[in-house]
């Protein structure tokens, strides 16, 4: 079954699942996504600890306060995204809002950097602040035109890869990029995806290939695979529900 067929099956049959089951699936994804996205950036909370912070509101001893805020803020930013995806377009103000939520109580968010930055382990050097502002201008213009030129998976991949290549903030670029990638997926009727922390090497390599060679295909393929995996997991539950009818 091809990706679009899997998506169509999900949309057609998800109503067969009880609302409490759908809610459970969504909550489990939210925790997994927050855990993986923050872990990729060096957060040391485990999946169980992330769940305890988000669901049980438990503070974790021995962890930096910054790490607790990173987890809480990421979940807040994702909830904000889910609530506003269908109502708002992805533009500069929204991206700054996302970043501000992500960095609350950590740094002043929503403000572009005025200094050079380096991505550890990458062959690509982000643009200087002056170059960055020019490239951001084109990025926001391209956001408007590419949604009519690219398929949803390619658009999600390009949005993430181009944003993180420009690296406009002093911190939080990766988490922001993964959120706006999921915005593009959800806006076009797809499910949000979670890039596993243990897959970060492949993830970094595909992003570096785009930054150095403008080749989006490997990253696009990674997103497609993750989207198919999510659909396969949920569709399997739907099929089991249909069989038990």
Q: How far apart are CA 190 and CA 185, in angstroms?
A: 5
Q: Out of 74, 99, 160, 167, pick the active-site residue.
A: 167
Count, in order, helices (H) and strands (E) of the chain: 10, 0
- Per-residue three-class SS string for 158-183: HHHHHHHHHCCCCCCHHHHHHHHHHH
CA separation for the pair 11, 189 (Å, rounded)? 9
Active site residue 74: no
Neighbours of 25 (CB within 10 A): 17
Radius of gyration from C-alpha coordinates of the chain: 18
Our measurement of the distance from residue 97's CA atom to the centroid of its chain's CA atoms, rounded to an integer in Å, reads: 15
Q: Give the separation between CA 38 and CA 54, rounded to whole angstroms.
A: 13
CA distances from 21 to 10, 27, 56, 63, 225 (A): 14, 10, 20, 33, 24
Burial 36-59 (b: 16+ CB within 10 A, else e): bbbbbbebebeeebbbbbbeeeee
CA distance between the termini of the chain = 23
Catalytic residues: 167
């Amino acid at each position: 079954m091809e990706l679009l067929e899997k998506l169509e099956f999900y949309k057609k049959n998800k109503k067969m699942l009880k609302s409490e089951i759908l809610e459970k699936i969504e909550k489990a994804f939210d925790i997994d996504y927050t855990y993986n996205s923050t872990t990729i950036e060096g957060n040391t909370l485990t999946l169980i600890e992330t769940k305890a912070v988000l669901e049980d509101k438990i503070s974790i001893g021995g962890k930096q306060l910054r790490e607790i805020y990173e987890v809480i803020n990421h979940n807040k930013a994702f909830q904000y995204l889910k609530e506003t995806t269908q109502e708002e377009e992805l533009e500069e103000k929204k991206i700054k809002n996302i970043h501000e939520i992500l960095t609350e109580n950590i740094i002043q968010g929503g403000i572009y950097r005025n200094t050079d930055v380096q991505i550890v382990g990458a062959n690509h050097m982000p643009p200087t602040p002056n170059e960055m502002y020019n490239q951001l201008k084109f990025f926001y213009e391209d956001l408007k035109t590419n949604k009519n030129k690219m398929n949803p998976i390619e658009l999600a991949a390009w949005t993430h890869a181009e944003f993180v290549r420009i690296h406009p903030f002093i911190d939080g670029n990766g988490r922001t990029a993964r959120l706006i990638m999921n915005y593009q997926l959800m806006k076009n009727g797809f499910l949000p995806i979670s890039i596993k922390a243990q897959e970060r090497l492949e993830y970094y390599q595909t992003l570096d290939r785009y930054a150095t060679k403008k080749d989006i295909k490997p990253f696009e393929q990674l997103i497609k695979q993750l989207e198919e995996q999510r659909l396969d997991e949920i569709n399997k539950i739907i099929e089991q529900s249909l069989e038990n009818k």
